[in-house]
Amino acid sequence: ELKIGNEQDIHTWEQVTLVYHSALKQINTKIEIMNDEFQQVHRYNPIEHIKARIKTSESIVKKLKRHGYESTIENMVKYVNDIAGIRVICSFTNDIYTIADIISNQSDIRIIAVKDYIMNPKASGYRSYHMVVTVPVYLSDRIIDTKVEIQIRTVAMDFWASLEHKIQYKFEGNAPTHINTELLECAHMVSELDARMLSLNNEILEIASKLENQKME
């Protein structure tokens, strides 16, 4: 029988990469299946694309240091929630909540934390929906519930976040005030764009469904 383990059973960097890679693969497959089903049933793809990554060891160590923790494997798995990260990019804001709901309802997934930076954007203007979940990874002798951070955002939010991330990286977090102000203004434009594109899409869907009904009468 398989033992129920947890992340505290992870002791080496090799184990970290194996377990977190496996967790990423599982979440990736779940999301792909969701997209395939939507395509078949609704003739619609809620997902534009998916990006998955394992955080580099340098980046993990930096994060631990920032939070005042020693760089041990135990601290990595305990305190760094995004060792395995997956980003789901969709077209419209309502798709974000549909995707989040479907993931939350899967019985092998446990939700650890949710941060809705769409309802509550960050001071930088950052918008995105974050979930930290665990997924069971089956090894030969044990099952390890492993954390994965899922970030769900629209194409427009992603466009903004990519540029902002690049800028903060270049200036090491100390960008000139006028650049931060401009970024914040762009974030408002992105938010407005998302709202208008969603409302346009809803109008189009309504017209399409009316036409469909007329055909059937």
Q: For binding to ligand 0O2 (CB under 6 A), which residues are involved?
A: 55, 63, 81-82, 115, 122, 124, 126, 130, 161, 164-165
In the complex with ligand 0O2, the residue whose CB is nearer, 130 or 144, is 130
Sequence-ordered list of residues with C-beta below 8 angstroms from that of 22, at least 6 positions apart, any chain: 137, 146
Largest CA distance in the chain: 70
User: Residue 163: which residues within 8 A CB-CB, separation 6 or more?
Assistant: 183
Give the nearest distance from C-beta 143 to ligand 0O2 in angstroms: 25
Least distance between ligand 0O2 and beta carbon 16 (Å): 16
CB 1, min distance to ligand 0O2, A:
35
DSSP 174-212: ---HHHHHHHHHHHHHHHHHHHHHHHHHHHHHHHHHHHH
Nearer to ligand 0O2, 139 or 155 (CB): 155
Supply the minimum distance, in Å, between the C-beta of residue 17 and ligand 0O2.
16
CA dist., res. 188 & res. 175, Å (int): 19
Angle between helices 177-216 and 93-104 (to 10 degrees): 80
- Cβ closer to ligand 0O2: 35 or 180? 180
Q: Report in angstroms how near the CB of residue 142 gets to ligand 0O2 at its nearest.
A: 27
- Position with the least CB separation from ligand 0O2: 126
Closer Cβ to ligand 0O2, 17 or 81, answer by number: 81
